[in-house]
Chains A and B, each alone.
Chain A
């Protein structure tokens, strides 16, 4: 029976139990991070709202200020359960282009600009281009091509950001 009461045996048991417990706690105490999926869905939703079947939707008036209606038109609600609001940000830019070989996306070609949510979280995107930082907001960028009713060509750029760090990171 020496084998069982040996100090080495207990030491191994304690080390194994401690190791497994530590791993389990580390794994399960971490919340599920769904912000990437959320930002992607938000971007897709805005894209659907701007363009349908390759055509820019009629409610968008080129060269005019459309800002106020943006959230309402796209059926978005940025209220959250957080005390601190401003957990979302979305920006859509519509550039006029001559052809797909000539993508000049500068301010002269910017025909429509929408923005809503908390613009302060835009700064979270740049540092994550090289390395993912958990504590920062998650960003998603979509770029796609569309035509208007007169067959003018446009490139639409959508940036969607979700913060919600309190519920998605430890």
Chain B
């Protein structure tokens, strides 16, 4: 009985099934690689630094002395942790230039025109973002 089955010209159904499974697996592998590629580009370190620096600069431009705002920077913090960069040093504001740095070898700076003194403090409790306190107008121009 067994030999009979083996001797059949070809197990066509089984071949078709294996072919289809291999075909589907290859497609899934290909799509996964593409998705990973897009994800890695979208969460690139340069892109994160640029978007956060510009975001902070625009928020400071629209603010007035006495205001305080909180910026959720979870993505940036996770990335800095991966890169072993101290998370409390991600944001640095000197004169009227914001610098966001997420690794040893990269940083992005953007200037703001609002002549205010801004104090950036890392949220040590939730560890998810930074507080920005707009202190006072500066006299220098």
Contacts and interface: CB of A to CB of B under 8 A. Distances in A.
Interface of A: 1, 3-4, 13, 16-17, 20-21, 24-25, 28, 31-32, 34, 37-38, 41-42, 44-45, 71-72, 75-82, 87-88, 167
B11 to A, nearest CB: 15
A79 B58 contact: no
B137 interface: yes
A13 B62 CA distance: 48
Contact of B19 (A3, A17, A80): A3
A71 B140 CA distance: 10
Contacts of B34: 16-17, 20
B113 A88 contact: yes
B52 to A, nearest CB: 11
Interface residues of B, number: 34
Contacts of A75: 114-116, 137-138
Contact of A79 (B47, B51, B54, B96): B96
By DSSP majority rule, is chain A's interface helix, strand, loop, or mixed? Answer: helix
B42 interface: yes
Nearest to A48: B64
A77 B114 contact: yes
The 5 lowest CB-CB distance pairs between A and B, nearest first, are: A77-B115, A80-B111, A75-B115, A75-B137, A41-B61
